[in-house]
Structure 1
Amino acid sequence: MQTTFSKETYIERRNRLKKMIGSGVLLFLGNEESSVNFKDNWYPFRQDSTFLYFFGLDMPGLTAVIDIDQDIEILYGDNLTVEETVWQGSHPPLSDLANEVGMSYTKSKSEIGSFLTSVRNQRIHFLPPYRPENLQKLAGWLKKSHQEIHSLVSVEFIKTVVSLRSIKSEEEIRELTKAVNISVKMHQKLMSAAKPGMKEYELLGLVTGEALSLGGNVSFPPIITINGQILHNHNYSNTLVGGKMLLGDFGAESASHYAGDITRTIPVGSRFSDGQREIYQIVLNAYHTAVAALKPGVMFKEIHLLACRKLAEGLKELGIMKGNLDEAVNQGAHALFFQCGLGHMLGMDVHDMEDLGEEYVGYTDDLKKSSQFGLRSLRLGKELEKGYCVTIEPGIYFIPKLIDQWQAGNLHSNFIDYEKLAHLRDFGGIRVEDGFVITDTGSKILGEPLPIEITDVENIRAKAIQ
């Protein structure tokens, strides 16, 4: 099989990991096939991203162990039987796979339990299991209950993996760029194809087909909706109606499993209404403000709050917000309109390393997540470093039930004019998003830029509607 990177890359990653952890046994669980509705009807296989990062082998049924004290690396798995090759075709022997990524020792996966028993006097490090089958494996091998397994997860291992995977190498940025460029083509397809009268699911088919036709897949279930005020809307049954807006938040996962994630909001017709243009420009101003602030050494939480302040400024100009805006943002009044975080890490996972825990990926021992509504949904708060890849995705959302709840409780009435807000109850939502890599002095957009300014978006839509 073809690995994404060279043998030397995987060896170097594992050597850095061993040096940072220092001692003990590191246990890596690859993923298994997972059945849809009967045993042999499988979901598309997706390998664990940390397993891919250190071992590069994109196939089910593998486990790896690094015994730092004995300086031994072992790949566990089984060669296919003749009967299995009838259905799956021939695969390289396990020993050849190990050699591809710089490993010498292979064993049957039936031997993992006995090995872990033999090293019980050493610290066995493993990461949080997010697949139930891997939780069951750990419980069986270590002879612990499921509850005990969760309590035995190695925080040291998590923090070390996060520190390594967070800094993207030049070869990783090339892979991310491939994913983003496919994502751009997916969005171009939607922006040129969407017309009044179409169903959202027709566009879902177009963008998914575009990703597949370019050698990738979707990096997460696409959001394609005329109800942009629902932040993660995966219902595709609505009909596109002139005068409404269409929000598309989706991206491609490349063949190497690096992810793209782009959002655009477009008019269903050829142009935005005047009211839509006003709100779109407010969101766009927050986007540009946040992008300009991206650089090493800056706390992403501060960039988030900077974008929130910019959104509040625009809403105050429309008469929807009022009062001291610094105090309004500090108290979270703006979260009636911007309920989520400004962005997240991007890598092999669209929310990179989220399986390891947001408190480790986006925060530190000193910086904890906020409990404030809105701010508590910020996935990334810590200081940016060169090599981080992040998204910037500000938005404004008018959610009728949330407005009613806040108004009934007279919440933040010093900062929100509920009377002037009334005519926007059914407005919907607007979001824009791109991915960026942090450079020495600032940031650089990942991949080919996709039109985002109002005039450029409307020019595309005018050609599409002709």
Structure 2
Amino acid sequence: MRLFPAETYKKRREQLLSQLNGGVYLIMGNNESPMNCKDNTYRFRQDSNFLYFFGLNIPNVAATLDASTGNVTLYGNDFSVVDVIWMGQQATMKELGAQVGVENTKPFSALATDLKNDVNYLPPYRHDRVIFLADILKKSTTEISSEFSVPLIEAVVKLRSVKDDLEIAEMTEAVNISRELHINAMQIVASGKKEYEIVAEIYATAKRSNCYLAYPAICTVNGQTLHNHYHGNTLQESDLFLNDSGAENDMCYSGDITRTIPVSKRFSNQQKDIYNLVLKMEEDCIADLKPGLLNRDSHLAANRIMLNGLKEQGLVKGDVDTMVELGVGGLFMPHGLGHMIGLDVHDMEDLGEKYVGYREGLERSTQLGLKSLRLAKELEEGFVITVEPGIYFIPELIKKWRAEKMFTDFINYEKLENYYDFGGIRIEDDVLITAEGSQVLGKRIPKTTEEIEGLHC
């Protein structure tokens, strides 16, 4: 188990406690989750907040922090001889605590005795943790799910949002491994192959680097379906193949990359026109990123670029600023421009987008596309975010809007009929916000039409 230096975790905990006004705060780790029987479990993945403050990627542990005294206690059980028979020799809780700068350790059973009704905790997102807390705190599951500590959430978000140099190095590694996933996939895409053959290469590439995927791979010829996890289609010569996949390295930091390539190895004129427009959206938005910029404004800028380009291609008409204001772009990009990334691919989403991506006075939109923007607030130095514009032609949505006569003054519905079998294009990179602008993490991943077509020369 690879860890940061113990002082890193101690400093994070001290920073957390300095933002809290008294009280005891609980950080829960995750349990193993049975797949079809108790001993046959899904792959264990530790809670990201526990990883951030305690680093231990093992099940059945928890910790408390006392903001009044500064005391930190790690709860977990030492392994028995019977456990060792099946698992081999394991470190004791004292030894594990020392590795992350915690002196005081107790058996996990002591947690139920030590916790009081006024303990502060983060929103539990796993049912077993809701039930556990309800049992030991003598509350209903409804109360447990709603009585989490907002000050604790806000303190954690403030710390985890800004990545330090150690984290940036881990994320750069995750992106570089993600790069290999994508290049290897690009090189084997061919007519007649099944999507799952490409997915198999992606998983194999990750494992060769001692990684897992940060999220289920989205690898599809149906790019117009935003989160398509079906991999049974056969690739056809005229298809575009969208690959949204990223590695999670052995420190649990994520990469999140998307590329879209032609199965035929060459873009058609229609595909190239839309692709280059998406590329302009991505590159122009990245170039404008800097501390203080509202990410919502970046999303709207991407829409403005998109609608200008679609107007030039005859798919929309009228005043572009008016179309942006009305939300016409939601027909073509019904998702947000990007999100935080770190220990989670959608970083800290378990804590609530209200606290992670928004702030007081900045309300979520109701417009299609903009309402799905996970990160709308001002950017800060040290944020790592995704920039992932796309253009999609979703026949069902186009037909619905047309039947409802939505934005008929702006949308050329007749011409859109020629795009019903187009699919979708998305291009995505992971970007660090720097003091004076931004920096795309990792080595360059082919994304111009020339670079992509050049892979097959």
What's the TM-score bracket when you normalise by the shorter of the two chains? over 0.9
Map of 1:191 onto structure 2: 186
**Stretches of structure 2 lacking an aligned partner (at least 5 in a row):** none
Distance 1:191 1:301, change over 3 A: same
Structure 1: which 5+ runs fail to align?
Answer: none
State the one-letter code of the partner of 2:304: R
Query: Corresponding residue for 1:419?
Result: 414
> Which residue does the alignment assign to 2:164?
169
Partner of 2:340: 345
Aligned twin of 1:35: 34
Matches within 5 A, 1:386-397: 386-397=381-392
TM-score by length of 1: 0.97
The answer to which of 191-200 and 80-89 deviates more is 80-89
The residue number in structure 2 matching 1:211 is 206
**For 2:175, which of 177, 180, 201 is the aligned residue?**
180
Aligned to 1:261: 256
Q: What is the percent sequence identity of the aligned residues?
A: 47
Q: Deviations over 1:309-362 (max 9, x none)?
A: 000011000111111111101111111111000011010100001111111110
Amino acid of the structure 1 residue aligned with 2:72: E
Partner of 1:7: 6
Is 2:2–2:250's contact at 8 Å kept on the other side of the alignment? no
Match in the other structure for 2:267: 272
Q: Please, which of 267, 278, 291 is the counterpart of residue 283 of structure 1?
A: 278
CA distance in 2, matches of 1:376, 1:451: 30
Equivalent-residue separation in structure 2 for 1:151 and 1:211 (angstroms): 38
Separation in 1, partners of 2:47, 2:347? 12
Residue equivalent to 1:25: 24
Using the size of structure 2 for normalisation, the TM-score is 0.99
Aligned residue number for residue 239 of structure 1: 234
> Do structure 1's residue 300 and structure 2's residue 295 form an aligned pair?
yes
SS of aligned partner of 1:301: helix
Offset at residue 137 of structure 1 (A): 1.1
| Deviations, residues 169-228 of structure 1 (Å, cap 9, x unaligned) | 011000000100000000010011111111000111101010011111100000110010
Q: CA deviation at 1:99?
A: 1.0
Question: Per the alignment, in what secondary structure is the counterpart of residue 36 of structure 2?
Answer: coil
Confirm whether residue 380 of structure 1 aligns to residue 380 of structure 2: no
**What is the rounded CA distance, in whole Å, between the counterparts of 1:367 and 1:87 in structure 2?**
53
CA distance in 1 between counterparts of 2:14 and 2:188 reads 49
Q: Give the partner amino acid of 1:189.
A: N
RMSD of aligned Cα (Å): 0.9
What's the counterpart of residue 141 of structure 1?
Answer: 136
Q: Is the Cα–Cα contact under 8 Å of residues 290 and 433 in structure 2 kept in the other structure? A: yes
| Distance in 1 of aligned mates of 2:36 and 2:113 | 33
Q: Residue type of the partner of 2:441?
A: L
What is the aligned partner in structure 2 of residue 82 from structure 1?
81
Secondary structure at the counterpart of residue 334 of structure 2: coil
In the alignment, structure 1 residue 321 sits paired with structure 2 residue 320: no
**1:89 Cα deviation after fit:** 1.6
- Distance in 2 of aligned mates of 1:286 and 1:131: 37
Which residue identity is paired with 1:344?
H
Q: Is the 8 A contact 2:331 2:368 kept in 1?
A: no
1:336 partner letter: L
Could you tell me how far apart the structure 2 residues matched to 1:129 and 1:29 are?
9
Give the aligned partner of residue 56 of structure 2.
57
Number of aligned positions between the proteins: 457
| 1:403 corresponding residue in structure 2 | 398
SS at match of 1:256: coil
- 1:111 maps to 110
The alpha carbon displacement at 1:282 in A equals 0.9
* Alignment check: 8 A CA contact 2:330 2:367 kept: no
For 1:386-428, what per-residue CA distance to the aligned partner results, in whole angstroms no more than 9, with x for missing partners?
A: 0000011000000011011000010011111111111111111
Secondary structure, aligned partner of 2:197: helix
Contact 2:73 2:103 in 1 (8 A): yes
Q: Which amino acid aligns with 2:23?
A: G
Alignment correspondent of 2:196 = 201
| Structure 1 residue matching 2:31: 3-state secondary structure | coil
Match of 1:330 in 2: 325
Letter matched to residue 130 of structure 1: Y
Distance 1:271 1:96 in 2: 57
User: 1:70 — aligned with what?
Assistant: 69
AA aligned to 2:33 is S
SS in 2 for 1:174: helix
Moved over 6 A (4+): none
